[in-house]
Amino acid sequence: MKKTGFLYDERYQLHLTGDYHPEMPDRLPCIYRGIQEAGLLSRLIHIKARRADMKWIEMVHDGRYIMRFEAACLSGKSMFDSPDNQVCYDTYEAALLAVGGILDVVSRVMEGDLDNAFCAVRPPGHHAEVNKAMGFCYFNNVAIAARYLQNQWGIERVGIIDFDVHHGNGTQHIFEQDSTVFYYSIHEHPSFAYPGTGREFEIGNNSGHGFTKNSPVLPGQGDDEYKRLMQKDLIPAFDEFKPEVILVSVGFDAHADDDMSDMKLSTAGFSWIMQRIVELGRQHSKGRIISVLEGGYSLERLPELAANHVEILLNA
């Protein structure tokens, strides 16, 4: 059994998004309950959140953007940059705790206290751009973790795998000119789904050319198509890139029962994806896999999906 960390903190529920918003605080207790009811909680190493040191956030985000975000929350605004991004007084604090918790987990993995980890954070991060909040995201958690791995821990090659049903535009844009971070995303085709990026021909620019890869999936597709695309696109790319650490943007919203997408992935399909990622980690990254929650909005499905996710990490 692996030493698997589980970042969970009730303060992540302080970020309130108002009525009818799919990215709601209840998602996290659902995930917790699912893991608990599967009898896995006691096997995990529970990590509490801590605030992030601002210097790591500033490695990704523009200083003025960070101040703008803080001011919007503390001044009582209800949205930031777009009506999609509902904020409350505590949103800024929750976002700081999300980043800080993840960076703490990264350190523990690098020190060998943990083999791998699942970070059940809110708010999510992969749509957040350098100076713009988008799609329920404020700080790009995974991007900051990648920079932290490189600058604090001397990691040269970070691999990011994003299987949220929406393309991680923020993460892609942050690293698209960078050959030291490989960004792979599989998501619903951008002509049919938010945010409208992540086309097959987006493969990175300048020195980052060839270090971004996108697998857009057409509406209505499920397990078979995901398996085919990941085998064709992800596995050979990571076998060549050989990431020293793998960060995963975990979205459970491609599930057939999640009404945020037209995808038809089954619960077993998600397990298949995670097992392939674990194999890549074993081959190239000494098992160092840190997964970070992005989307996934079906409160009925989140418990089983989260439980299976951590079970695969425990048995990695």
In terms of CB distance, is 108 or 173 closer to another protein? 173
The Cα 72–Cα 88 span in angstroms is 8
Confirm whether 166 is a catalytic residue.
Answer: no
The Cα 188–Cα 186 span in angstroms is 7
In terms of CB distance, is 136 or 175 closer to another protein? 136
Beta strands in the chain (DSSP E): 4-7, 45-47, 79-80, 82-86, 116-119, 158-162, 181-188, 212-217, 245-250, 289-293
Query: Is residue 243 a contact partner of residue 182, using CB atoms and an 8 Å limit?
Result: yes
Instruction: Supply the minimum distance, in Å, between the C-beta of residue 105 and another protein.
Output: 26
Contact residues: another protein, CB under 8 A: 20-22, 82-84, 127, 134-136, 166, 169, 191-197, 218-220, 259-260, 262, 297
In terms of CB distance, is 21 or 33 closer to another protein? 21
- Among candidate residues 127, 166, 167, 187, the one labeled active-site is 127
Task: Give the DSSP per-residue string, 237-292.
Answer: HHHHH--SEEEEEE--TTBTT-TT-S-BB-HHHHHHHHHHHHHHHHHHSTT-EEEE
Name which of 160, 169, 156 is nearest 199 in CA terms.
169
**Cβ-defined contacts of 207-210 (< 8 Å, 24+):** 207/177, 207/178, 207/179, 208/175, 208/176, 208/177, 208/178, 208/179, 210/179
In terms of CB distance, is 93 or 294 closer to another protein? 294
Query: Is residue 15 a contact partner of residue 25, using CB atoms and an 8 Å limit?
Result: yes
Catalytic residues: 127
